[in-house]
Amino acid sequence: MSQPEKFVVSNEASQGLNFRSEPDPSDPTNIIATLPVNQEVIKLADAGVPNWWKVRTTIGGISNEGYVNRKFLRPAGSASDVEVHTGVRAVHLPTTGKTVKRASKANLPYPLTENPPVQRAKDDPPAQRVEAIRQLIDWLNVPQSERYRADGNTYCNIYAYDYCFLTGAYLPRVWWTGKALIRLAAGEAVPVIYGETVNEKLANELNDWFKQWGADFGWRRTLDLNELQQAANEGRVCITVGKSKPGFHHGHGHIVAVVPENDNFRATRSNGKVIELVKSQAGSVNFKYHVDHWWNDGTYEEFGHWIHD
């Protein structure tokens, strides 16, 4: 008897592969389950529809038969396209085989695969860092780039992630699940699997992440707005993040980059003390530059100002 043909869900289906009762992707009612990356399936037959197979898999200990698109499978035992980590460390969804652009909302959980015209480097002189940040802000073009355009949802966390990713500071777009953290702390090798070992993070969760993990990834909290704006003016990466009160901001909070002052946008000062910061953000309105003190509007349960040293 020939051995069964075994396959696993590839990283191309990073948000899961729909397992259907019929090989018809236009019908949302035929989805039996969503299979995570690395889930094993056994091919039973071609489905008679191009690129679709009838397969068997085990879900929650129960054997099931259904249909999947074979384009999102790879042979079991072949070289894995899933990154594996040991120890609690920075994590990004791998972009192998993907194109992630400012002009598209495709692949929102992934880092950009485009490169800005210049790259900020931590050890460059302050003036050079500032110029790189200004060019990056112009290049990201948050008011016009489709990736950040509000469409009923807002994308402050994605813009802040892209800004940090391209300036060399770690801010999670996805972060390890609780169970994955336990396994990592125990020395296990843990694969990066969307929805299973890592999940996306909204601003409310990022507020908590900074408090718990920020120092481990080079972030330092400050309560001094003068220090924060000065650090931004020196080309360091600075973030303000707020956790919303129940009933506000759809429970998502807000996060912005605090950025260098320029001739048109200056921090507001009273008696020599900064009271409003220069920020760059996505949100309900997207700004390359704006000056305000949004975290004090009464809708945030807590907030934090952070400098990446």
**Residues 106, 212 within the same domain:** yes
130 plus 58 within the same structural domain: no
Distance in angstroms (rounded) separating the CA atoms of residues 297 and 274: 17
Whether 132 and 224 share a structural domain: yes
pTM of the entire predicted model: 0.78
Listed as ranges, residues in the chain with pLDDT below 70 are 1-2, 14, 78-84, 86
Q: How many domains does the chain have?
A: 2
162/65 same-domain check:
no
Give the residue from 19, 46, 75 where a domain finishes: 75
Q: Are residues 151 and 210 in the same domain?
A: yes
Q: Are residues 164 and 289 in the same domain?
A: yes
Q: Could you say which of 75, 97, 129 is where a domain stops?
A: 75
- Give Cα 18 to chain centroid, integer Å: 22
CATH number for position 264: 3.90.1720.10
> Residue 41 belongs to what H/E stretch?
strand 40-46
CB 268, CB 274: distance < 8 Å: yes
Cα–Cα distance between 57 and 231 in angstroms, integer? 54
Find out whether 103 and 146 touch, Cβ atoms under 8 Å.
yes
Do 159 and 272 belong together in one domain? yes
On whether both 71 and 94 belong to a single domain, the answer is no
Could you tell me what percentage of the chain is helix, strand and coil, using 3-state DSSP and rounding each to the nearest 5?
A: 25, 30, 45
Long-range contacts of 13-17 (CB under 8 A, 24+ apart): 13/37, 13/72, 14/93, 14/109, 14/110, 14/194, 15/109, 15/194, 15/195, 16/194, 16/195, 17/68, 17/69, 17/72, 17/73
End-to-end CA distance of the chain: give it in Å, rounded: 62
Do 123 and 268 lie in a common domain?
Answer: yes
Same domain, 101 and 205: yes
| Secondary structure, 3-state, 16-36 | CEEEECCCCCCCHHHEEEEEC
DSSP bridge pairs for 307: 220, 238
Q: What is the pLDDT of residue 81?
A: 57
Which domain, by its residues, includes 65? 5-75
Over residues 185-241, the pLDDT tens digits come to 988 888 888 988 999 999 999 999 999 999 999 999 999 999 999 999 999 999 999
Neighbours of 178 (CB within 10 A): 8
Spatial contact of 139 and 117, defined as CB atoms under 8 Å apart: yes
The residue out of 75, 99, 128 marking a domain boundary is 75
Q: H helices within the chain, ranges in order?
A: 126-140, 156-165, 178-185, 203-213, 225-233
CATH number at residue 53: 2.30.30.40
Residues 157 and 201 in one domain: yes
**What are the DSSP calls for 174-236, one per residue?**
EEE-HHHHHHHHTT-EEE--BTTTEEE--HHHHHHHHHHHGGGGTEEEES-HHHHHHHHHTT-
Kindly state whether residues 286 and 173 are assigned to the same domain.
yes
Residues facing residue 280 across a β-bridge:
257
pLDDT of the residue at 12: 77
